[in-house]
Amino acid sequence: MKQNQDNKGADYQGADYNGPSRVFSGMQPTGALHLGNYLGALTKFVDLQDEHECVFCIVDLHAVTVFQDPKLLASQTREIAAAYLAAGVDPDKAIIYPQSQVAAHTELAWFFNCVARVGWLSRMTQFKDKAGKNSQAVSVGLYAYPVLQAADILAFKATHVPVGEDQKQHLELSRDIAQKFNNDFGVPGFFPLPEPLIKGPGARIMSLRDGSKKMSKSDPSDNSRINLTDDAETIAKKFRKARTDAGMVPDNIDALAERPEVKNLVGIYAALSGMSETQVLGEYAGQGFGVFKPALADLAVEHLRPISTRLNDYLDNPDEVDKVLRSGAEKAAAISAPIMDDVRRVMGFWGT
């Protein structure tokens, strides 16, 4: 995003940040997680927790930007926490908590509402996609959503944010907000400019029914996505039905450019197996999809089965999950509270 003229000409005020590195990310509790969430973000959470201080949030405040049934919100939140745990996020290494339990998110979001510019938000493509033709009738919260996302990250002065590619523009906005805050208040390096970690073939998993659309919870067709909770038979059926073409698996990456559905399946295979896309093509070049799809289904089932077993175990033990969430919320609040004290002081509020 271009520097806004209200930025008073600052160039890189966050580059002076010399605080500790910290990882932050979040997922919305709006339904079961799918393979895109898993490969785009959740596997990265697990990889990062050994080497970095990690804070992983369940972003229930983001979820309520569209109506959520109050009878379901808490259990949906618990389900995402259970998925984090089942995928291997370790609560002894990483903090796991619900966003609504830590007040810093909403407070900093308000401050940032007064820093971010309306013009910046009106360029957000995800808002345009979600609001569609209905942009006057959606909630103010849906419009301000990316500002809350910036607050999530910066309430922890997080330096790295593992996400799928669809979050790239929101991360750019977070950097712009951090930079403008640092500049407006004359505090170079107060907030870091958070780096998105968007890597590998898993960063953009597409619908199994349409290679031009991302795999999404909100797609009306359940056959468009693999849910972490799907059983082996369902997974095999969904891959069998996945759209491809009449050709064979090609022998080079360039040949995938015009074949988005095939590219997607090869990318999924690569992300699940840890192989590169070139290696996958090397193994299956010249084979038909009658061979490739069952092999992919077997790989996915083998990979996801232990996760869905653990997920169901956690869902049968909600007290255990709640204990993790409560203790995570305390730890998250302890990190963000002194940062918020400093933010209030920098802005000059009474009592600071």
Q: Contact residues for ligand TYM (CB under 6 A)?
A: 24-28, 36-37, 40-41, 59, 62, 149, 152-153, 161, 163-164, 166-167, 170, 203-205, 214-215
To ligand TYM, the closest distance from the beta carbon of 154 in angstroms equals: 10
Q: Which residue is nearest to ligand TYM (CB)?
A: 40
Residue closer to ligand TYM, measured from CB, 205 or 280: 205
To ligand TYM, the closest distance from the beta carbon of 73 in angstroms equals: 14
To ligand TYM, the closest distance from the beta carbon of 341 in angstroms equals: 22
To ligand TYM, the closest distance from the beta carbon of 266 in angstroms equals: 15
Residue closer to ligand TYM, measured from CB, 60 or 287: 60
Phi then psi for residue 256, to 5 deg, are -85, -15
To ligand TYM, the closest distance from the beta carbon of 284 in angstroms equals: 22
Residue closer to ligand TYM, measured from CB, 214 or 238: 214
- Cα 110 from Cα 27, distance rounded (Å): 21
To ligand TYM, the closest distance from the beta carbon of 62 in angstroms equals: 5
Residue closer to ligand TYM, measured from CB, 113 or 188: 113
Residue closer to ligand TYM, measured from CB, 4 or 126: 126
Q: Which amino acid is at 45?
A: F
What separation in angstroms does the CA of 124 have from each of 134, 135, 332? 15, 12, 28
Phi then psi for residue 75, to 5 deg, are -70, -30
- Which residues belong to the active site? 130, 214, 217
Residue closer to ligand TYM, measured from CB, 38 or 314: 38
